Structure 1
Amino acid sequence: MRSYAVEPLQVVLPDAALAAAVGEIDGAEVSVWSGADEPPRHVDLWVPPYLTSTVAIDRVGDLPGLRVVQLQMAGYDGMPEKMPPGVTMCNASGVHDDATAEHAVGLILASLRGTVEAVRHQAEGRWVRMPGRQSLADARVLILGYGSIGRALAERLLPMKAIVTGVASRPRSDDLLDEVHGFGDLPALLPAQDVVVLLVPHTDRTDKMVNDAFLSKLSDDTLVVNVARGAVADTDAILAHAGRLRFALDVTDPEPLPDGHPLWSAPGVLITPHVAGGTTAMLPRMAALVRAQAERLVAGEELAHVVHRG
């Protein structure tokens, strides 16, 4: 791959904290532009703000000379279509694996062990016993979307003695789980699960993949955890099954979830406001990725995590 540099490479970041973490890069100049004012006169590599909607890249057409957009998210649905001709887009694959896996474990434990109910009881000043809650030990957990985040989740669940099944778009062998199932195996697998964790990317194939037919295959009291994208699950179907099933949702459709939306008060539903990836672990990992991508451009090497080629 040829170098995009015009000596020096112009790397534009959204805030001073990321710029400080990235530091100096040989052969490149690092500057900060929030996207709120006039754009720089020349940009080779742009890192947009950390937003999970396409609003993050709305000013991509305003940047003269732009060659590469480096997202701070792993998900990128709706964004390739906004890339001008000649602009390559990369996602932040790997940056959020640990934090998202941690959050998924937290949601699972909070739901299975009754933490949500206990917090409500504490606010009411009541001591309410909750015997017989589901343990994660020996629980059957299906990870739907067994990629890098799915593997990070499995690495945490297995030492906790969960029985983990991985499902991806295609079946394959795996050194951690031995076997990863394909989507075609879901009808046979779903009825036996205690927990289903959604980690598939949002694509045409996975849009509202978790619908009424999907949820109807799950046994009563199964927990469905969504740390993927809100649109991979049908909100109407969630509302129809809430109470029979339990849900822990870090993402919703619509998002942000409006005030007064019925999901807020649906029985057995725990909601967090899309916070799985935005932790203290993000900044150093994102800085390392930006620095590595800039160094690749300076050296004329192939970029990592390309999801759209301009």
Structure 2
Amino acid sequence: MPPTRVPAIHLGPDHDLALGRGIEAGGGRLVPLDEAEAVVWKGGPDTFPDRLPDAVRWVQLPSAGIERWFAAGILDGGRIWTSAAGAYAPRVAEHAVLLLLAGVRGLGEQARATSWRKAEFETRVATLHGATVAIIGCGGIGRAMIPLFTAFGAEVLASTRSGTPVPGAAETVDASRNAELWARADHFVIAAPATAETAQLVDADALAQMKPTAWIVNIARGSLIDTDALVRALRAETIGGAALDVTDPEPLPEGHPLWSLPNAVITPHLANPSNGLPSLLAEHVRANVERFAAGETLLSPVDIERGY
């Protein structure tokens, strides 16, 4: 159905062709900030206005992870805030599967090799077929991973805050039961939001319970893993390895042991490269503008109390 009205929306901090088209395709019209009832922001918290007009009832943020916005004290309960959660899910899910495959197949060390070491490497190559993969924080990105993992013959255990069954997962548990998964699953993908509750979710105790062949993939935030404990586990080879697109600290400094450990694979936070963000965000914006115009529930609302 066409929207019943044409909402006035400000796009900032400057114009973006793809986002502008997304707003208009959703039934909105672009206006200056002082005329707006909604704001679509493509910049970071450092460029956000000090004060929004009282008429602004909804703000669309550009990222799925919004801890920087909370840290800056920008989000308030006086209006609806939406994140980009889910907008980038297929791309990030693809990278997560790539990282786990690279680990399980021993690709990292093979790619760094400078000699033919077939006999040595052959003993380290495993498969996802028949493996159990636990997705910790199985939101939009996790849900996009499930058909990819099942296509490789893996079984997925999903952990969510509510424990509501996730389609395609063999089993879903609520986040309070994460400790049960460390010893059960063969491999792990960390995809939970970064909050005070999830800081160092993967700690020394969790690592100690994992199988010696387990690989950990992190495409969420580096703070969810205790880096020092992870380095110790990798050096001792008590787990199979870690494939990380995000680290703590980030950027990972030169000389950090994670760069040189043979059972670590590092990519520099590019699961969702910036060159593809505008077009993916534009579709998310279009859908939300359409919903806003029709008075419907918006996609990816931020829960101020929970912090994501």
How far off its partner does 1:30 sit? Answer: 6.2
CA contact (8 A) 2:11 2:20 kept: no
CA contact (8 A) 1:194 1:222 kept: yes
**Cα deviation 1:229-272 (Å, max 9, x = unaligned):** 11111111111111312100111112222233333223411111
For residue 39 of structure 2, what is the aligned residue in structure 1? 46
Question: Greater shift after overlay, 253-262 or 210-219?
Answer: 253-262
TM-score, normalisation: structure 2? 0.82
The correspondence of residues 159-174 of structure 1 with structure 2, limited to 5 A, is: 159-174=151-166
For residue 18 of structure 2, what is the aligned residue in structure 1? 18
CA contact (8 A) 2:182 2:209 kept: yes
> Could you tell me which amino acid in structure 2 is paired with residue 290 of structure 1?
V
In 2, the alpha carbon distance for the partners of 1:22 and 1:214 equals 43
For residue 8 of structure 2, what is the aligned residue in structure 1? 9
How far off its partner does 1:225 sit? Answer: 0.5
In 1, the alpha carbon distance for the partners of 2:161 and 2:291 equals 31
For residue 270 of structure 1, what is the aligned residue in structure 2? 265
For residue 289 of structure 1, what is the aligned residue in structure 2? 284
> Could you tell me which amino acid in structure 2 is paired with residue 198 of structure 1?
I
How far off its partner does 1:188 sit? Answer: 3.8
2:49 to 61, 64, 75: 61
2:133 to 132, 138, 141: 141
**Cα deviation 1:252-308 (Å, max 9, x = unaligned):** 112222233333223411111111123776443311221232334444444332215
CA contact (8 A) 1:48 1:57 kept: no
For residue 176 of structure 1, what is the aligned residue in structure 2? 168
CA contact (8 A) 1:223 1:248 kept: yes
> What secondary structure sits across from 2:282 in the alignment?
helix
How far off its partner does 1:167 sit? Answer: 2.0
> What secondary structure sits across from 2:157 in the alignment?
strand
Would you say 1:198 and 2:195 are equivalent positions? no
Identify unmatched segments of 5+ residues in structure 2. Answer: none
TM-score, normalisation: structure 1? 0.81
The correspondence of residues 1-310 of structure 1 with structure 2, limited to 5 A, is: 9-13=8-12, 14-19=14-19, 21-22=21-22, 24-25=24-25, 26-29=27-30, 42-49=35-42, 56-62=44-50, 64-65=52-53, 66-80=56-70, 81-83=73-75, 86-121=78-113, 124=114, 126-129=115-118, 130-132=121-123, 133-243=125-235, 244=237, 245=239, 246-278=241-273, 282-308=277-303
How far off its partner does 1:191 sit? Answer: 2.1
How far off its partner does 1:85 sit? Answer: 6.4
How far off its partner does 1:135 sit? Answer: 0.8
Identify unmatched segments of 5+ residues in structure 1. Answer: 32-39, 51-55
How far off its partner does 1:84 sit? Answer: 5.3
> Could you tell me which amino acid in structure 1 is paired with residue 46 of structure 2?
D
CA contact (8 A) 2:62 2:84 kept: yes
- Quote the sequence identity (%): 32
In 1, the alpha carbon distance for the partners of 2:299 and 2:229 equals 37
CA contact (8 A) 1:99 1:279 kept: no
> What secondary structure sits across from 1:237 in the alignment?
helix
In 2, the alpha carbon distance for the partners of 1:167 and 1:283 equals 30
Query: What is the Cα-based RMSD across aligned positions, in Å?
Result: 2.9
